[in-house]
Amino acid sequence: MTHGKLARLLDTHGPRPERWPPADRQAAATLLAASAEARAMLAEARRLEDRLGAGLPQPAPASVARLKAAVAREIARSPLPAPPGRWSRLLAALRPAAPAGWGALAAMACCALWLGLAASPSRVGDPLAPLQTLPIAEDSL
């Protein structure tokens, strides 16, 4: 771990090692043990967190306990989701067949049907021959 990565880690997750990703904790601990500059960065981050937290009002412990109990009651009361039925399992299995969505798949099927049913070209080598059979409004001018 480098000093720059430690600085990003402190900016992202704060100075408490328990908030750091497990993959980065050991590398950061090794750097902190070896580098005075890294320890100074950690101390500065702790001072900043303490200053920011000092001005915030702290909630009453009783209010936090009531909130936790209410959330736990609401979770306990809510029903479990129904297991997926046959139709939803079939749609989930077919989802990879239409990565751009079902509308795109339907549009491609319509284009394929239109091209399959179009009249064969009257002249060989004319790529626009199928389009010449379509009725087009004439200009009145």
Query: Tens digits of per-residue pLDDT, 105-124?
Result: 888 889 989 888 876 655 56
**Residue 118 maps to a domain:** no
* Residue 106, in any domain of the structure: no
**pLDDT score recorded for residue 116:** 83
Q: Residue 48 domain-assigned? A: yes
Q: Is residue 94 part of a domain?
A: no
Q: What is the predicted pLDDT for the residue at 124?
A: 61
- Which stretches in the chain have pLDDT values below 70? 119-127, 129-141
Q: Give the DSSP letter of residue 98.
A: -
Q: In this predicted structure, what is the pLDDT of residue 61?
A: 94
- The confidence score (pLDDT) of residue 101 equals 79
Residue 17 C-beta-side C-alpha neighbours within 13 Å: 13
pLDDT recorded at residue 62 = 96
> 80: which DSSP letter?
P
Exposed, middle or buried, 9 (CB in 10 Å: 0-12/13-18/19+)? Answer: buried
Separation in Å, CA 102 to CA 19, 72, 87, 88, 114: 42, 40, 15, 14, 18
Number of domains in the chain: 1
- Look up residue 53 and give its DSSP letter: H
CA angle 114, 118, 121 (to 5 degrees): 145
Q: Please report whether residue 140 resides in a domain.
A: no
What is residue 58's predicted lDDT score, i.e. its pLDDT?
85
User: In which domain, by residue range, is 43 found?
Assistant: 3-53
Q: Is residue 47 domain-resident?
A: yes
Residue 137 within any structural domain of the chain: no
Please indicate, yes or no, if residue 76 is contained in any of the structural domains.
Answer: no
